[in-house]
Amino acid sequence: MLDRSEVLHVARLARLRLDDEEVDRMAGELSSILGHIAAIAALDLDDVPPTSHVVEVESALRADEPGPCLDRDVALAQAPAVQDGGFLVPSPQAG
């Protein structure tokens, strides 16, 4: 069973703010997921390669040919704040 501090650590990494009731619920839900993974981990899977992708496609590569870019006004349209043609954000040092 995950404890509260582990849930809060994961939530912090994902920038999620959970209230007390949610922390308890997530501890239960995450623990059941981890329990399922533990059940799989108990199997002898030495001969089975890890599955990184579920679709059997490989090497869908792109030729190095330039395509159109967005107009800057369009790119910046959804920014909460804009300055000097850039996205204005709180300084990470301050955060």
Partner 1 sequence: MNGGGMPSDGTERGAGGPAEVASYEPVIGLEIHVQLRTRTKMFCSCPLSFGEPPNTHTCPVCLGLPGSLPVANAEAIHYGLMIGLAVGSELAPRSIFHRKNYFYPDLPKGYQISQYDEPLCSGGRLGEVRIHRVHLEEDAAKLTHVGSSGRIHGSDASVVDFNRGGTPLAEIVTEPDVRSAEQASEWLRLLRTTLRQLGVSDVNMEEGSLRCDANISIRPVGTTQLGTKTELKNMNSFRFIERGIRAEVARQEALLRAGETVTQETLHFDPRTEAITSLRSKEEAHDYRYFPEPDLPPVRITNEMLHRARTAMPELPAARETRFASVLGLNVESARLLSWRAELGDYFEAALDAGASMHPPAGAQPLANWISELTARHDGDDPADSKVTPQALATLVGLVGSKKLTQGGAKQVLDRLVAEGGDPAAIVDAESLGAVGGADELAPVVRAALEANPDVAAKLRDGDMKPIGVIVGYVMKETRGRADGGEVTAIVRAELGL
Whether the CB-CB separation of 79 and 87 falls below 8 Å is answered with: yes
Query: Does residue 41 bind partner 1 (CB under 8 A)?
Result: no
Binding mask 18-37 for partner 1 (x = CB under 8 A): --------------------
The token duo for 70 is 């967005």
Least distance from partner 1 to the Cβ atom of residue 47, Å? 17
Is residue 17 within the footprint of partner 1 (CB under 8 A)?
A: no
- Is 31:1 a contact under the CB 8 Å cutoff? yes
Distances (CA, A) of 57 to 48, 51, 61, 67: 19, 13, 11, 24
- Cα 20 from chain centre: 23
- Can you tell me which of 20, 21, 44, 65 binds partner 1, judged by CB under 8 A? 65
Where on the chain is the footprint of partner 1 (CB under 8 A)?
9, 12-13, 15, 52-53, 55, 57-70, 72, 75-76, 81, 83-95
